[in-house]
């Protein structure tokens, strides 16, 4: 059944598991219809307002985008079942926002619900953590009609655009796939936002747009564009497009957040990173070695111009990143910026070896590793200057490296098979079966699919 024909058929009100109605009730049409009617009611009863202008743009009028405190604010989250999206939704729900999330499960786990529809287990767990509901629709951003239908059903106030594919190696092998998904996805989204008079956008960008740093710490004025991989170029091109759009059309109110290296997991251990595509991110890899799922870590390059010769990056706890999005959204509600860019990092550079040693210390594990030649295109060090986000968004990272490792390890050990886990682990034993994590996990997939 195509989304454009029966959009309501795929809408899921994700309820906390304990509160979920019986399967027969859920598969019936009544609750879905009620949600639909509620959406239509909201869409006609809410109206958009505007904010103040910054001097940068030649044709800027004075807008008033400030929404009154008692008005429910609905945020449309693309890529909501993914790593950053799911954690950000926790913070959004806790901050009182209503959330409509979409995902096509290109890189996130789905499961079939009793009603036959795909569910995002990550978002079920988000609701368990927060005790709040959200709306999820399985939708591909490339399907513009489906997107239009969702915007028709619910008045959307702001959008956070996470959805993208992000594997650097794959992007070099299949550039067209990356350009189509990331670029066309963004263009479709902007078009549908504009059609619906929704101009508040937070875009997930990356420090990769800076290329090789000309100075450190890197601030938002550092030149961009010398990007050596296709994934990074899609981020750079979308940034450039958003800059053009904001200049051409004064209604747009856009914040681009350049993330440094998000790691860790929600402190509950219930949600974390569980990609369905092969990955090379450092912390998940370290954890996989620690849990016995991979034999050893490969460190590429020990002759960089850094404290111990290994590459230096700016790791940021995923919940700090999440709170950065809430701060950005608040800013968009308070002011009409047209377009602003902020780094989200800690400002501290950490080497691969330091991360490894901290992980071992915090988790009490041993992580075997080998060293190889540096890879073409890898840079010595990159870390952020984050003063602008602190000054203008009132946001600053709170979590330290130990907490990043601790929280990631909690997620990994509580969920050895990621969201497919039905096992829990206590004191290094799975379900009291007497198997140590490393033994059991050797046979598991641990989120690598
Ligand atoms: N994780 C990082 O290290 C990092 C760093 C900088 C920037 N980013 C950016 O942050 C965003 C989120 O990253 P993440 O780590 O959560 O990745 P993720 O892969 O976990 O989440 C992205 C989600 O988007 C979905 N998606 C992809 N294409 C889609 C489409 N066409 N329609 C609908 N859904 C689609 C995927 O299924 C996935 O669930 C991405 O834009 C990424 O480029 C990530």
- Ligand 1: residues within 6 Å at CB? 78-79, 81-85, 102-108, 140-142, 162-166, 181, 185, 204, 206, 259, 261-262, 275
Residue 361 CA to ligand 1 centre (angstroms): 30
In ligand 1, which atom is closest to the CA atom of 261?
3
Given this model, what pLDDT does residue 40 score? 35
106, 207, 218, best to mutate for ligand 1 pocket (most atoms within 8 Å of CB): 106
Instruction: Express each pLDDT in 88-144 by its tens digit.
Output: 999 999 999 999 999 999 999 999 988 888 999 999 999 999 999 999 999 999 999
Residue 78 CA to ligand 1 centre (angstroms): 9
Q: Please give the positions annotated as active site.
A: 231
Q: Looking at the DSSP assignment, which residues form a beta bridge with residue 82?
A: none
At 421, the pLDDT band (50, 70, 90 cuts) reads confident
Residue 435 CA to ligand 1 centre (angstroms): 34
Domains in the chain, CATH or no CATH each: 7-277+316-348+387-398 (3.40.50.720)
Average pLDDT, the chain: 82
101, 166, 177, 224, best to mutate for ligand 1 pocket (most atoms within 8 Å of CB): 166
At 71, the pLDDT band (50, 70, 90 cuts) reads low
User: How confident is the model over 34-52, as a mean pLDDT?
Assistant: 32
pLDDT more than 70, % of the chain: 78
- Confidence (pTM): 0.83
110, 163, 209, best to mutate for ligand 1 pocket (most atoms within 8 Å of CB): 163
Residue 272 CA to ligand 1 centre (angstroms): 13
Instruction: Express each pLDDT in 145-184 by its tens digit.
Output: 999 999 998 899 999 999 999 999 999 999 999 999 999 9
Instruction: Express each pLDDT in 210-243 by its tens digit.
Output: 999 999 999 999 999 999 899 999 999 999 999 9
User: How confident is the model over 294-320, as a mean pLDDT?
Assistant: 96
In angstroms, the CA 124 to CA 188 distance is: 27
């Amino acid at each position: 059944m195509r989304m454009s024909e029966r959009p309501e058929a795929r809408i899921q009100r994700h309820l906390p598991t304990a509160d979920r109605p019986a399967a027969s009730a859920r598969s019936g049409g009544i609750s879905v219809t009620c949600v639909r009617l509620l959406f239509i009611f909201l869409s006609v009863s809410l109206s958009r307002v505007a904010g103040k202008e910054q001097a940068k743009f030649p044709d800027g009028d004075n807008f008033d985008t400030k929404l009154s405190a008692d008005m429910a604010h609905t945020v449309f989250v693309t890529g909501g079942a993914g790593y950053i999206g799911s954690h950000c939704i926790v913070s959004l729900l806790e901050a009182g926002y209503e959330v409509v999330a979409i995902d096509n499960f290109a890189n996130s786990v789905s499961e079939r619900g009793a009603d036959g529809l795909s569910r995002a287990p990550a978002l079920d767990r988000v609701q368990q953590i927060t005790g709040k509901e959200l709306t999820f629709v399985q939708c591909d951003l490339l399907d513009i009609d489906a997107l239009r239908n969702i915007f028709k059903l619910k008045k959307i106030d702001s959008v956070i655009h996470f959805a993208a594919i992000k594997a650097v190696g794959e992007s070099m092998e299949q550039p067209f796939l990356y350009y189509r998904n990331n670029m066309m996805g963004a263009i479709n989204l902007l078009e549908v936002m504009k059609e619906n008079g929704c101009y508040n956008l937070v875009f997930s960008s990356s420090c990769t747009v800076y290329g090789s740093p000309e100075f450190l710490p890197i601030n938002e004025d550092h030149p961009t564009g010398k990007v050596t991989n296709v994934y990074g170029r899609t981020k750079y091109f979308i940034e450039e497009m958003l800059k053009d759009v904001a200049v051409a059309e004064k209604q747009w109110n856009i914040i681009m957040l350049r993330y440094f290296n998000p790691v860790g997991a929600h402190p509950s251990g219930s949600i974390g990173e569980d990609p369905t595509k092969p990955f090379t991110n450092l912390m998940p890899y370290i954890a996989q070695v620690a849990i016995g799922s991979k034999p050893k870590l490969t460190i590429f390059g020990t002759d960089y111009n850094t404290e111990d010769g290994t590459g230096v990056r700016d790791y940021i706890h995923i919940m700090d990143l999440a709170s950065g999005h809430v701060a950005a959204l608040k800013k968009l509600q308070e002011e009409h910026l047209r377009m602003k860019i902020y780094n989200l990092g800690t400002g501290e550079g950490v080497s691969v070896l330091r991360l490894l040693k901290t992980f071992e210390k915090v988790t009490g594990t041993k992580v075997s590793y080998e060293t190889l030649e540096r890879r073409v295109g890898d840079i010595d060090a990159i870390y952020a200057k984050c003063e602008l986000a602190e000054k203008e968004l009132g946001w600053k990272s709170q979590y330290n490296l130990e907490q990043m490792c601790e929280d990631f390890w909690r997620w990994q050990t509580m969920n050895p098979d990621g969201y497919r886990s039905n096992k829990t682990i206590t004191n290094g034993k799975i379900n009291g079966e007497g198997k140590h994590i490393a033994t059991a996990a050797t046979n598991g997939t641990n989120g690598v699919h």
